[in-house]
Amino acid sequence: MLAMLPARTAFATPDTVFFPSADGATEIVAYLFKPQTPGPYPGIVMLHGRGGPYSANVNKGCTLVSRTSSSVCNASGLSKRYMMWGQYWAERGYIALLPDSFGPRGKARGFGRFTHDDPDRADVNEKTVRPLDAEGALSWLRSQRDVVSNRIFLEGWSNGGSTALNVMQRRGAKTSGYRAALALYPGCGPKALLAPTLATSVPVTLLLGSDDEEVSAARCQDMAQRSITAGGKIDVVLYPGATHGFDDPGRRRQSIPGNRSALEDAMKRAIAFVERLKN
């Protein structure tokens, strides 16, 4: 087991909460990982990828996830990746919130690889829809008494990573809102991002795999360089030999040596990134 992975092999089931998306129409279901130590806590909003937040073993059995549904897609069915990260943050004193953008809109099954042009993805897209869910999550966390309202961070994977970058783009140089953003293997092309240059003063870190088979690491590097030239605070880490989803703790992904080293470094780097912004 990697040194930085949570010590327990079994993950604790998170709490289920509900809050309104900033779209004004959708009630989002989300999963809350809380530290066992006394608060108040800094917060992390975690944005799932295009496969959705649930394990592939269970998400075929459900479509809609809501306050009244009895769907098999619930807190106990979350994928190992998000359970691992949620517990990782909680064990380090951060309250972590994982919103489900797909389930409340009848698409809990998520989407397969190379489906970006699927018209069924339009009403859960990462440019104009999912950023509103992230803004709703921010508002909800800031309303909680045990959360440090000026220390809330954003972490996203793949489609959720692109969403995180778009949240930063939408908020621009505003001083309120998310303190920083961490994007793992996001899409950085015109179909994924609102603009070719990220215009934000908020610190952003991109974690990319050199052997990513789904998105272009080079395109993300180009976007980052343009943004840095324009004054953005963006760091880029490229992991040699790492693929898309390099932090998936499952055996298949972790059988790739580049993924194993990338996962361990990404977890170390993530906590160091937010801890630098304590004040």
> 95-100 and 41-47 as β-strands: parallel, antiparallel, unpaired?
parallel
Residue 15's pLDDT is 96
The verdict on residue 5 lying in a domain is no
Higher pLDDT, 86 or 201: 86
Residue 178's pLDDT is 94
For residues 2-12, average pLDDT: 52
- Number of separate domains in the chain: 1
The verdict on residue 7 lying in a domain is no
pLDDT band at 3 (very low <50, low <70, confident <90, very high): very low
Query: Residue 183 sits in which domain range?
Result: 16-276
Residue 8's pLDDT is 45
pLDDT tens-digit readout, 114-146? 888 888 899 999 999 999 999 999 999 999 999
Element (H, E) at 166: helix 159-171
The verdict on residue 6 lying in a domain is no
pLDDT band at 2 (very low <50, low <70, confident <90, very high): very low
Total residue count of the chain as it appears in this document: 279
pLDDT band at 6 (very low <50, low <70, confident <90, very high): very low
Judge whether residue 77 has pLDDT over 60: yes
Query: What is the percent of the chain where pLDDT is above 70?
Result: 94
For residues 241-270, average pLDDT: 96
Beta-carbon count within 10 A of 278 CB = 9
The verdict on residue 171 lying in a domain is yes
Higher pLDDT, 120 or 252: 252
| CA 47/CA 184 separation, integer angstroms | 10
| CA 219/CA 20 separation, integer angstroms | 34
Residue 10's pLDDT is 60
The verdict on residue 8 lying in a domain is no
Residue 4's pLDDT is 47
Residue 278's pLDDT is 72
Element (H, E) at 271: helix 257-275
Judge whether residue 7 has pLDDT over 90: no
The verdict on residue 84 lying in a domain is yes
Judge whether residue 59 has pLDDT over 70: yes
The verdict on residue 43 lying in a domain is yes
Residue listed under structure tokens 């939408």? 170
Residue listed under structure tokens 């306050």? 67
CATH number of the domain within which 205 lies: 3.40.50.1820
For residues 160-178, average pLDDT: 83
Judge whether residue 175 has pLDDT over 70: no
| CA 162/CA 152 separation, integer angstroms | 18
The verdict on residue 158 lying in a domain is yes
pLDDT band at 23 (very low <50, low <70, confident <90, very high): very high
Residue 12's pLDDT is 79
